[in-house]
Structure 1
Amino acid sequence: VLFGNVAYMGYPVVELIIGKEGVFYSAVFNIWFNVLTWTVGVRIMSRKAGSSTRKAFLNPGIISVCIGLVLFFSPLKLPVFLDEALALLGESTIPLAMVVAGIILGNARLSTILKSRTVIFYSIVKLCIAPVIVFFLLSAVEMPAMVEKILIIMSAMPAAANTSIFARIFDSDYELSSKLIASSTLFSLITIPLIISFLD
């Protein structure tokens, strides 16, 4: 519940509502989100599985974020062919995001989801309560309206798809995480438009 699907679903929603500039700010937000996911998130899961702290923090997510930050702040320029290849890869993110969302929804069994009070409760927390909390926290801070809107939209995203991957890798409750991802993604089709209409 702590980690939302800010890239695969957040980027398309922000681009649709705000535009390309909004996606840039979302990507900056996503850097710190990835750091938290691959440190705090992995540590929580690995502790249950009995993995060492060093192994938990030396993972592909953290390594890729570090490389990305070095390249971003470095004066070094990538070769043109590599730069263009990475740009094309980046442009494929949103179309692939729609495919991933479709797969998640396609595997969702509504009858099974509705039987689980735990899944329903945490879906409500993720989709409804979290954005409200973020809204009130941001109301006490001065920042551009666009950035505020982006942060609220991001907080309203369903559970991140990689939580089920972590659950599988670290031998945690894979079934529960999969149900939560499916249910929050399904219900977000209702809650996200409502939140956006409220922000407008």
Structure 2
Amino acid sequence: MEVTTVLSSVGMMAIIVGIGAIIGKVTRVTVESKQLLVIIILNIALPSIILNGIFSIEMNDLLLSKMLTIFIMSIIFNALGIGLGWISAVLLGFREMNAKLIAILAGLGNTGFIGIPLCATLFGPTGGLLAAIFDAGLDVIVFTLVVVLLNKNGGFTLKGLKAIINLPIIAIVVGIAIAITGYEPPLLVKNLIATFAGLAAPLAMIYIGLLIATLSKKKKAISLRFISISLLMKLLVFPLMMIIVLQVIPITEDLKLVALVQVSMPTFMLATILFARYDHDEETAVMTTVYSTMFSLITIPLIVYITTLFL
């Protein structure tokens, strides 16, 4: 993976984020307008990236094997990330729920909103598809382990597990079924899916820019120690550890690269919604997510450069 390619992609992301921030500064952005962007991204653009990947490549036993491999890797890596985040929080003096919150913010990345479009840009349709499978593994962790950690009663219900069934997951299942049956979608459908897929990255970056603009208007005091631990673990410590781990795992290079990009993603945006749902500090989750995304524009190219020296 060429560092210049990553720098170009991340640089373009930064410019679009800046445009989103300017829009948020000069116009009044309502909650409803931001929700509309999220709906378009999650329910139209991301499923289109997945389907475009499936329609653009030949489904065979090797690809199915890679998809299963990266799904299992995702579950293991994300659970490991949470575990390391919790250990670091405890060692640094955080206890009880604060340690759990740091573990979640430090362990899980924005593998869907940012990771899928970025991998599609860097590695083509196959990269976008494998990134989507990685994100599916993260969803499993979010609505099982994370729900248990956030639930003050320590329980888990099937209702939480139902959240795993979303349009990107449905797109994976439907797309694989179509590919296996050998059905060839009409050219109009393929072109439409490809057009929608192209919306994902710019809309996601504009949304992040809007969040930055919204955050800059707030004067809420933050725990610098809490956020800095989360960012350090998520953006540097854990990705660097994964570079070492990936060197010894006997998998193909494309799987290693996609997995590395995904573990290098900033804190996942769903944290804000989940923290609010279980009556935790939503504002801290928002700030951690936004700052993590801003700093990731620097750390992602750095991690990729280090990767080129070892992988």
| SS, match of residue 18 in structure 1 | helix
User: 2:137 pairs with 19, 29, 32, which one?
Assistant: 32
2:38 aligns with none
Superposed displacement of residue 117, structure 1: 0.9
The answer to whether the aligner puts 1:94 opposite 2:197 as a matched pair is no
Q: Counterparts of 2:199 and 2:140 in 1: how far apart (Å)? A: 22
Q: Is the 8 A contact 1:108 1:179 kept in 2?
A: yes
Distance 1:37 1:128 in 2: 21
TM-score (norm 2): 0.54
Provide the rounded CA distance (Å) in 2 between the counterparts of 1:172 and 1:187.
24
Matched-pair contact (CA < 8 Å) for 1:6–1:160: yes
Unaligned runs of 5+ in 1: none
- Larger deviation: 109-118 or 95-104? 109-118
The equivalent residue for 1:104 is: 211
Q: How far, CA to CA, are the matches of 1:113 and 1:191 in structure 2? A: 25
Aligned to 2:6: none
Per the alignment, residue 251 of structure 2 pairs with 143
Amino acid corresponding to residue 116 of structure 1 in structure 2: L
Whole-angstrom CA distance in 2 between matches of 1:190 and 1:18: 20
- So what's the TM-score if we normalise by structure 1? 0.80
Task: Give me the identity figure in percent.
Answer: 24
Counterpart of 2:132, as a letter, is: A
| Alpha-carbon shift at residue 49 of structure 1 (Å) | 6.5
Shift of residue 116, structure 1, vs aligned partner: 1.1
Aligned to 1:62, which of 165, 171, 177?
A: 165
Deviates more, 1:5-14 or 1:156-165: 5-14
Distance, in Å, in 1 between the alignment partners of 2:125 and 2:168 is 22
2:74 corresponding residue in structure 1: none
Contact 1:43/1:53, CA 8 A, preserved across alignment: no
- Taking a change above 3 Å as real, the CA distance of residues 52 and 195 of structure 1, as seen in their structure-2 partners, is closer
Please, which moves more after superposition, 50-59 or 93-102?
A: 50-59
The equivalences for 1:1-200 within 5 A come to 1=105, 2-45=107-150, 47-48=151-152, 53-59=157-163, 61-62=164-165, 64=167, 67-68=170-171, 70-74=173-177, 89-109=196-216, 116-200=224-308
Q: Give 5+ residue unaligned stretches, structure 2.
A: 1-104
Query: What secondary structure does 1:19 align onto?
Result: helix
Pairs aligned (count) = 198
Q: C-alpha distance in 1, partners of 2:221/2:305?
A: 27
8 Å Cα contact 2:115-2:265 kept in structure 1: yes
Closer/same/farther in 2, CA of residues 187 and 111 from structure 1, 3 Å limit: farther
**One-letter code of the match for 2:276?**
R
